[in-house]
Structure formats: C-alpha cells, structure tokens
C-alpha cells in the first residue's frame, strides 16, 4: 500500500531508509517538544537542524530528488516551516521557469548550493488577489539601464512573503514594469535585499517580520518596502519577456506565463495537503483504537471509541479523501511537469487547462483537508485540544492553503471562467472542441441515474451521476450568467450576481475529477489485496461524496429517494468493512513518530504514560509556585481574606 501511496516500491523503500537514518541521528531530532518552545526558540532550532542538513544531506538522501528532499524536510524540519521554506517551494521554481538560460547560470547554482536564500515577494499590504492592482513599481531608467523599484505608499509594502522578514537575502519581486511612462503590468525581478556578508538590509530597503500567525510560525513571513531602489535591467526575469537596453519590450507567448510559480505550488501542494490530512487521521485513528470509553453492549467491557459508528463516520470518509487527494495530486504533478516542459519550449496551449484544474483542486482539497483535520481533532475528545495531539498545529498549517496561492473563492471563480467558456461551446453545438477534462459536458446523460439499477456496474454509474450533477450545475450557472447579460447587465455585474452558483459548479467539477482520479488508480492496481482494500475505500468515497451533494441530483429527479437510501446504506456498510483495516490504511503512509510529533498518535499506543511525561515537561512545571502567583494572585487572595 505504501508503494501505491508514494508512487512506487522504490519510493516507499527509500522513505523507510531515510526515516531509519534520521532515527539514528539525534542531532536532527527536536531538542524538546515544539509546543514548549517560544517562536524565537523554534526558529533557532529549525535553523540549527537546517544547517546540519545542508552539511549531511548527501549522506541521507539523493539531494537531486525532490520527493526525497520533501520527505527529509517533513521529518526533520516539520510542517511548521523553516527558514528556507520558500527558497525551495517558490524561489527556485520561479527562477527555473522564468529566468533565461544566462540568468539561470548566474543565479541557480548559487541558490542550489544555498549560498543565497531567496523567496517570492508578490502580495502587498493592500492587494494580494488582484495582481493587476499591485502598487510596487519598477520604472526603467534608460540612461543607466536600470529598473528603479519603488513603494509609493504603505499599502504597496510587500506583505506576507515567507522567509522574507529575517532569513532571505534575495527575492523574486513582482512589480509593475513601467517603460517610457507605459505600464506593462506585473513582472518578476531578481532583487538582492541584504548584504551577503553582514545580512544587513541594503540601503533603500525596509524589511521585517509581520508577527505571529495562527500557525506556520517558524516561517518569518515578512514586509518589504523599496525607496527608489536600483537593480540592473538584466534582473528582469527574461526567459519569456525581454526588455532591451533601449527600452524595447518583447512580450511573452502567453500573458499569464509569469504566473507559473503560483501554478507550480498549486499543483504540488495537493499531495502536501493529503499528507497533512493523513497525518491528523493517523493520530486520531490510532488514538481511537487505544481510547476506551463507554459500552455498546452493557454486559461487555468499555469499547475502543473506534467501534462507534459515529467515530467511524467522522474519520473514515476523510481517510478515503486523503487517498483520493494523493492520487489526484500525483496526476496533477505529472500534468504540471508536462505543461512546464512544453511551456519552456514555447508551447503554451495547455496552460489554460492546467490553470483551471489546479485552481479548482487547490480550493476543494484545502477546504476538505481542513474539515477532515478538524474532525480528527474533535474525534480525540479533550486530548485532541491539547498540543500534545499536535493536530491543532497541523490544522493551522493546512488551512493556510485555503488562502495562499490564491484565495479559494477567487480560484474557484477562475475555474468557473473555463467552465462557462466550455458551456458556451456546448450551447453553440461545438462540443467536439471541448478539452478532455470537460468532454462530459457535451455528452447527453440518461434521464435518471442507474445506481442500484444495474448489477455489477462497478463505479461507472457513480461517475455518470457525478458527471450529470456537474454538467447540470455548470449549464445552469452559465445560463443564469448569459441570461443576465441578455437582459442588459454588464458582464462583470452579471458575473458577480452568479458567482455563488458558478463556484458551486467549480466544486462539483473538481469533485468529479477527484472521484475519477481515484477510480483510474484503483483500475490500474494489479495486487489483489491492495485492490480490494482500496476498492472498499473507493466505495465509501463515492457513496459518501454523492450523499454530500445529493440535493443537486434530487432536485431534477436524477436520483430517487430509494436510491438515496441505497447510497446511505452503502456508506454504513463500508464503514463497517473498513473498520478492521482503518489503522493499517493510515499506518501504510509510514509516518515515523519523529515526523508526527504527536503524543496521542504514537505508533506504540503508549498514550497515557507519555501524556503525563509530556505534561510534566511543561516549563510551567519547573517550579511549584509561579511568580504570577506570588506577585498577583497570592496578594489578592490574602487581601480578600482580611
């Protein structure tokens, strides 16, 4: 199963080998539990480990393999981030995709050797979503052949970029490019921020940390202002766009090609989210098979809480989602790598499809991951609320994904643009022009669903039902939009008035893609036992997801009440079937105790003794009487007693 999850036997084996090596290297372990550290201590601890990793990486992993690097980071540095999180996730990808060969030769080896630390600085205090209204400018000075970066007012300060505040000395900065008073829109520039020797900010640069956040606090998200700060013309990233010495602008082959670093993260973050969901579920499910509370049969001893159907219903559908996201994520990364290769050689024809797909997936996956992790926390009762479970930290980090790389509603609306265009093709009789991801919009469906009507139909009737509801909602939302425009409403106003319905269509389309990716994967599996276990999970997935969106299929009678009863019964049936495999389905992800950082989720199940040990190690327990008591509470009580 681990081979299915991680992509191959070899990958699963390598992960095990890497975890085993890390277990033997105490210098790479947390020196004390992270929840007992201050933010400053955590940042120091992370930098300490990161430096050792830089020295010893070659002994542990193949540093050229991103999957191994990702695993190493998760184990050693953890999900709260590290001082170079953005360096690998966005800075290097931005240079790789947008810098010319000459620029790459100059900067990439230095970045890869970690001579410099970089980030991606785009969002500002006043604007994040609406890139067209960013305020930072890069004005070309023909006389010196330099760009002058400037922050015209406080809202133009770069705000949020990870590791910008304290760690990075370089950044890819997105600014509006102005040449001879003409604004060419946002473009990426390579900018040195700090002196390479002293790490002091360079003159003309104002920079710092934006303060503590809900989670992800090892990362120093930062602010950045420029005061007429000059960089050479050749620091504009020039793979696709060029500015010649005389100010001549050569436009890129696609207007949005400079957005590729964002698409990169949107594609890769899906498996990251699956891992966080599976981690929280692993903790909750292991704990649920240790925790005994109450009886189902009063004549019997207390049961493990995992025996309760409500507990299974809370956890198991999310286990199925974690697998589904991992499989859909793997497909998306493959597509991304393909499109990136094409893009580098000038073929931009697949960019719109990739953008639509990743926009929808990013939104649905992060939202459902957040839901699943929060349910996992609640499933642990009181101990879930303790940082000893570590679930609240996983939650805080995961839901950051609902916001970064494009706020979820906004990204769903991006997919909706693509769906509405596709609907227009269907309506004008041009279904043959639909791309493969939306081809179903042009296919006439049966009048009613055949779920529970055809024996041995596998998952086909489920997929057709998801297709039906997605198609119906897309065409309905598109009709509403076109109808408003026909009535004379301006395009943008009409769009806003339909946007809730449009986003519903985007979610349904994306959920269909996830179901199909899961079905595709199960169909590929040769090992009969693995196929069986995953087929059970897929049964739970399709039935649970369909129940969740049943109103769409009920309102036009595509599903009947009796079919809904069948679907509900299937959910209960598969909860029971999955119960014996539940812990294994999560143990198959092979997270080590070092990586999970959870007292509740320990592999050995020795929860109570270790919770007590953990509590005793709280800094508050260093002394029996705190100074808050001697200074304030004791005098207050004494005064009250007089």
Do the Cβ atoms of 600 and 28 come closer than 8 Å?
A: no
Q: Any contact of residue 86 with ligand FAD (CB under 6 A)?
A: yes
Q: Any contact of residue 481 with ligand L4XM7KOE (CB under 6 A)?
A: no
| Three-state secondary-structure class, residue 187 | strand
Q: Any contact of residue 123 with ligand L4XM7KOE (CB under 6 A)?
A: yes
Q: Any contact of residue 122 with ligand FAD (CB under 6 A)?
A: yes
CB of 118: closest distance to ligand FAD in angstroms? 11
Q: Which of residues 566-605 bind ligand L4XM7KOE (CB under 6 A)?
A: none
* Residue in 404, 462, 466, 552 binding ligand FAD, rule: CB under 6 A: 404
Q: Any contact of residue 81 with ligand FAD (CB under 6 A)?
A: no
| Three-state secondary-structure class, residue 318 | helix
Nearer to ligand FAD, 353 or 407 (CB): 407
Encoded one letter per residue, x for contact with ligand L4XM7KOE by CB under 6 A and - for no contact, window 145-164 reads -----------------x--
Residues 6+ apart with CB under 8 A from 401: 269, 272, 273, 362, 365, 366, 369
Nearer to ligand FAD, 410 or 554 (CB): 410
Q: Any contact of residue 56 with ligand L4XM7KOE (CB under 6 A)?
A: no
User: Which residue shows structure tokens 């119906």?
Assistant: 472
CB of 614: closest distance to ligand FAD in angstroms? 27
The catalytic residue among 135, 374, 405, 545 is 405
Q: If you ran DSSP here, which 8-state letter would residue 441 be given?
A: G
Q: Which of residues 205-224 bind ligand FAD (CB under 6 A)?
A: 216, 221
Encoded one letter per residue, x for contact with ligand L4XM7KOE by CB under 6 A and - for no contact, window 339-378 reads ------------xx--x-----------------------
* Residue in 82, 103, 122, 389 binding ligand L4XM7KOE, rule: CB under 6 A: 122
CB of 222: closest distance to ligand L4XM7KOE in angstroms? 12
Nearer to ligand L4XM7KOE, 86 or 522 (CB): 86
Does 162 belong to an annotated binding site? Answer: yes
Token reading at 233: 């013309």
Closest to 416 in 3D by CA, of 355, 487, 325, 332:
355
* Residue in 293, 310, 403, 628 binding ligand FAD, rule: CB under 6 A: 403
* Residue in 35, 63, 88, 128 binding ligand FAD, rule: CB under 6 A: 128
| The residue count for the chain | 642
Kind and range of the H or E run holding 410:
helix 408-427
Do the Cβ atoms of 205 and 222 come closer than 8 Å?
A: no
Helices (H), 289-350: 309-344
Does 429 belong to an annotated binding site? Answer: no
**Residue 416 interacting partner from ligand L4XM7KOE, ligand FAD, none (CB closer than 5 to 8 Å by kind):** none
What are the φ/ψ torsions at residue 136 (nearest 5 degrees)? Answer: -65, 135
Catalytic residue check, 405: yes
Q: Any contact of residue 217 with ligand L4XM7KOE (CB under 6 A)?
A: no
Q: Any contact of residue 83 with ligand FAD (CB under 6 A)?
A: no
Closest to 167 in 3D by CA, of 187, 147, 193, 149:
193
Which residue minimizes CB distance to ligand FAD?
Answer: 128
Residues 6+ apart with CB under 8 A from 306: 285, 288, 289, 312, 315, 579, 582
Q: What distance in Å separates the CA atoms of residue 179 and residue 183, rounded to the nearest whole number?
A: 7
Encoded one letter per residue, x for contact with ligand L4XM7KOE by CB under 6 A and - for no contact, window 399-438 reads -----xxx---x---x--x---------------------
Token reading at 65: 């393999």
Q: What distance in Å separates the CA atoms of residue 166 and residue 156, rounded to the nearest whole number?
A: 19
Do the Cβ atoms of 55 and 76 come closer than 8 Å?
A: no
Token reading at 32: 């004390």
- # binding residues, ligand FAD (CB under 6 A): 21
Q: Any contact of residue 172 with ligand L4XM7KOE (CB under 6 A)?
A: no
* Residue in 120, 323, 327, 418 binding ligand FAD, rule: CB under 6 A: 120
Do the Cβ atoms of 43 and 218 come closer than 8 Å?
A: yes
Strand-pairing partners, residue 124, are 158
Closest to 94 in 3D by CA, of 320, 207, 258:
258
Q: What distance in Å separates the CA atoms of residue 267 and residue 354, rounded to the nearest whole number?
A: 9
Q: Any contact of residue 495 with ligand FAD (CB under 6 A)?
A: no
Applying CB under 6 A, which part among 72-80, 144-152, 155-163, 243-251 lies near ligand FAD? 155-163
Do the Cβ atoms of 285 and 583 come closer than 8 Å?
A: yes
**Residue 388 interacting partner from ligand L4XM7KOE, ligand FAD, none (CB closer than 5 to 8 Å by kind):** none
Closest to 470 in 3D by CA, of 429, 523, 519, 415:
415
Strand pairing class (137-141; 170-179): parallel
Q: Any contact of residue 409 with ligand FAD (CB under 6 A)?
A: yes
Applying CB under 6 A, which part among 49-57, 234-242, 399-407, 523-531 lies near ligand FAD? 399-407
Q: What distance in Å separates the CA atoms of residue 219 and residue 404, rounded to the nearest whole number?
A: 14
Helices (H), 144-259: none
Nearer to ligand FAD, 103 or 221 (CB): 221
Strand pairing class (158-159; 146-150): unpaired
Q: If you ran DSSP here, which 8-state letter would residue 334 be given?
A: H
Encoded one letter per residue, x for contact with ligand L4XM7KOE by CB under 6 A and - for no contact, window 247-286 reads ---------x--x--xx-x--xx--x--------------
- # binding residues, ligand L4XM7KOE (CB under 6 A): 28
Q: If you ran DSSP here, which 8-state letter would residue 304 be given?
A: B
Closest to 500 in 3D by CA, of 470, 468, 477, 483:
477
What are the φ/ψ torsions at residue 209 (nearest 5 degrees)? Answer: -90, 145
Q: How many CB atoms lie within 10 A of CB 103?
A: 18
Q: Any contact of residue 554 with ligand L4XM7KOE (CB under 6 A)?
A: no
Nearer to ligand FAD, 93 or 601 (CB): 93
Q: Which residues bind ligand L4XM7KOE (CB under 6 A)?
A: 89-90, 120, 122-123, 128-132, 162, 256, 259, 262-263, 265, 268-269, 272, 351-352, 355, 404-406, 410, 414, 417
Catalytic positions: 405
Q: Which residues bind ligand FAD (CB under 6 A)?
A: 86, 120-123, 127-129, 160-162, 216, 221, 400, 403-404, 406-407, 409-410, 413
Point out the annotated binding site. 123, 162
């Amino acid at each position: 199963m681990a081979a299915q999850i991680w992509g191959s036997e070899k990958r699963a084996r390598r992960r095990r080998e890497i975890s085993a090596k890390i277990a033997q290297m105490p210098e790479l372990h947390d020196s004390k539990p992270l929840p007992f550290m201050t933010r400053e201590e955590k940042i120091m601890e992370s930098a300490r480990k990161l430096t050792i990793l830089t020295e010893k990486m070659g002994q542990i992993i193949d540093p050229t393999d991103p999957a191994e690097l990702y695993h190493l980071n998760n184990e050693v540095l953890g999900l709260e981030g590290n001082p170079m999180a953005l360096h690998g996730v966005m800075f290097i990808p931005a240079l790789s995709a947008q810098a010319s060969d000459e620029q790459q030769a100059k900067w990439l080896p230095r970045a890869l050797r970690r001579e410099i630390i970089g980030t991606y600085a785009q969002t500002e205090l006043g604007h994040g979503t609406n890139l067209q209204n960013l305020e930072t400018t890069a004005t070309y000075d023909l006389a010196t052949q330099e760009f002058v970066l400037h922050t015209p007012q406080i809202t133009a300060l770069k705000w949020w970029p990870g590791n910008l505040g304290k760690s990075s000395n370089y950044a890819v900065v997105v600014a509006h490019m102005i040449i001879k008073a003409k604004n060419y829109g946002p473009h990426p520039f390579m900018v040195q921020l700090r002196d390479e020797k002293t790490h002091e900010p360079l003159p003309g640069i104002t920079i710092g940390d934006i303060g503590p956040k809900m989670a992800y606090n090892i990362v120093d998200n930062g602010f950045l202002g420029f005061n007429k700060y000059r960089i050479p013309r050749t620091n504009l990233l020039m793979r696709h766009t060029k500015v010649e010495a005389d100010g001549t602008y050569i436009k890129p082959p696609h207007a949005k090609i400079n957005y590729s670093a964002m698409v990169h993260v949107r594609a890769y973050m899906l498996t990251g989210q699956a891992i966080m969901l599976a981690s929280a579920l692993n903790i909750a499910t292991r704990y649920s098979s240790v925790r005994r509370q109450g009886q189902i049969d009063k004549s019997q001893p207390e049961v493990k809480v995992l025996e309760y159907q409500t507990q299974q219903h809370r956890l198991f559908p999310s286990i199925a989602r974690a697998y589904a996201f991992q499989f859909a994520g793997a497909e998306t990364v493959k597509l991304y790598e393909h499109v990136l290769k094409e893009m580098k050689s000038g073929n931009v024809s697949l960019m719109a499809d990739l953008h639509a797909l990743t926009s929808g997936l990013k939104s649905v996956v992060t939202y459902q991951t957040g839901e699943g992790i929060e349910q996992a926390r609640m499933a642990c009762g009181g101990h879930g609320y303790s940082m000893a479970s570590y679930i609240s930290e996983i939650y805080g980090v995961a839901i950051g994904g609902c916001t970064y790389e494009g706020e979820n509603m906004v990204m769903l609306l991006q997919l909706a643009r693509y769906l509405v265009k596709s609907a227009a093709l269907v309506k004008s009789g041009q279904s043959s022009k639909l791309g493969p991801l939306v081809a179903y919009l042009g296919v006439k469906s049966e009048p009613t669903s055949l779920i529970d009507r055809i024996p041995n139909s596998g998952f086909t009737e489920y997929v057709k039902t998801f297709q039906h509801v997605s198609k119906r909602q897309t065409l309905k939302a598109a009709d509403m939009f076109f109808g408003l425009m026909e009535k004379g409403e301006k395009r943008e106003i009409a769009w806003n008035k339909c946007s809730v319905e449009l986003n519903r269509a985007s979610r349904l389309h994306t959920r269909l893609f996830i179901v199909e990716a899961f079905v595709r994967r199960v169909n590929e599996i040769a090992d009969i036992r693995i196929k069986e276990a995953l087929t059970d999970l897929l049964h739970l997935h399709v039935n649970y997801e369909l129940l969740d969106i049943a109103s769409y299929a009920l309102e036009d009678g595509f599903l009947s009440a009796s079919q809904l009863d069948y679907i509900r019964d299937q959910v209960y049936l598969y909860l029971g079937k999955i119960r014996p495999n539940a812990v294994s389905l999560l143990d198959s992800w092979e997270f080590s105790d070092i990586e999970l950082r959870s007292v509740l989720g320990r592999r050995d199940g020795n929860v109570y003794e270790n919770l007590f040990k953990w509590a005793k190690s709280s800094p508050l327990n260093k002394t029996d009487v705190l100074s808050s008591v001697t200074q304030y509470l004791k005098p207050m009580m004494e005064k009250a007693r007089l």
